[in-house]
Structure 1
Amino acid sequence: MFPKVQSPESRRMITLEVRRTTRTSPGFTTVTLGGPELAHLLPTGRDQAVRLFFPRAGQDGLTMPTLSSEAWMAQILLLPKSRRPWVRNYTVRRVRPELDELDIEFALHGGDTPACAWALGARPGDPAGIFDMGLTYLPPAGAGEQLLVADESAVPAALAILEHAPASLVAQVFLEVPGTADIRTDLAAPEGVRVHWLARDGSAGIPGRLALDELRAATLPQGLSYTWAAGESGLVTGVRRHLVRDRGVPKSDIAFHGYWRHGRSSPG
Structure 2
Amino acid sequence: MAGTLRYSALHVSRTERITPLMQRVTFGGEDLADFSHVSPDQHSKLFFSRQEGRAPVVPPMPADGDVGRWYRDYLAMPEAERPWMRSYTIRSHDPVRQEIDIDFVLHGDGDHSGPASRWAAQAEPGDVVGMYGPAVSHYRTPGLRDWTLLAGDETALPAIGALIEALEPGERAIAYIEVDGPAEQQEFTTVGDAEVHWLHRGGTAAGHSTILADAVRAADFPSGEVFAWVAGESSAVRTLRRHLVNDRGIDKRAVAFTGYWRLKLTQDDAPTTDDLADQAEAMDEVQVGSAQG
Q: Which residue of 2 aligns with 1:25?
A: 19
Paired with 1:29 and 1:123, the residues of 2 have a C-alpha distance of 12
Does the 8 Å CA contact 1:45/1:164 hold for their aligned counterparts? no
Query: Are residues 15 and 198 of structure 1, via their aligned partners in 2, closer, same or farther at CA, if it must alter by over 3 Å?
Result: same
The separation in 2 between residues aligned to 1:40 and 1:254, in whole angstroms, is 32
Distance 1:222 1:208, change over 3 A: farther
TM score, norm. by length of structure 1: 0.89
Which residue is 1:140 aligned to? 142
Give the match's secondary structure for 1:153.
helix
Inter-partner Cα distance in structure 2 for 1:245 and 1:164: 29
- Which residue does the alignment assign to 2:120? 119
> 1:56-95, aligned counterparts within 5 Å?
56-58=50-52, 60-67=54-61, 69=65, 70=67, 71-95=69-93
Across the aligned residues of Structure 1 and Structure 2, the Cα RMSD in angstroms comes to 2.1
User: Within the alignment, does 1:218 sit opposite 2:216 as a pair?
Assistant: no
Matched, 1:168 2:170: yes
* Higher relative contact order, chain-length normalized (CA < 8 Å, sep 6+): 1
Match of 2:107 among 90, 106, 109: 109
**Larger displacement relative to structure 2 (242-251 or 122-131):** 242-251
TM-score by length of 2: 0.82
Structure 1 residues 205 and 114: alpha-carbon distance in aligned structure 2, compared to 1, 3 A threshold = closer
Distance 1:57 1:25, change over 3 A: farther
Cα distance in structure 2, aligned partners of 1:232 and 1:216: 17
Letter in 1 for 2:204: S
What is the distance in 1 between the residues matched to 2:102 and 2:244? 31
The 8 Å contact of residues 48 and 129 in structure 2, kept in 1 or not, is answered as: yes
Aligned residue pairs: how many? 261
Partner of residue 239, structure 1: 240
Q: CA deviation at 1:228?
A: 0.7
SS of the residue corresponding to residue 213 of structure 2 reads: helix
Report the secondary structure of 2:26's partner residue: strand
Q: Deviation digits for residues 169-217 of structure 1, max 9, x if unmatched? A: 1121111112210101x31134422111112121246256211111111
The aligned amino acid for 1:54 is F
Alpha carbons 1:151, 1:207 under 8 Å: kept: no
Unmatched segments (≥5 aa) in structure 1? 1-6
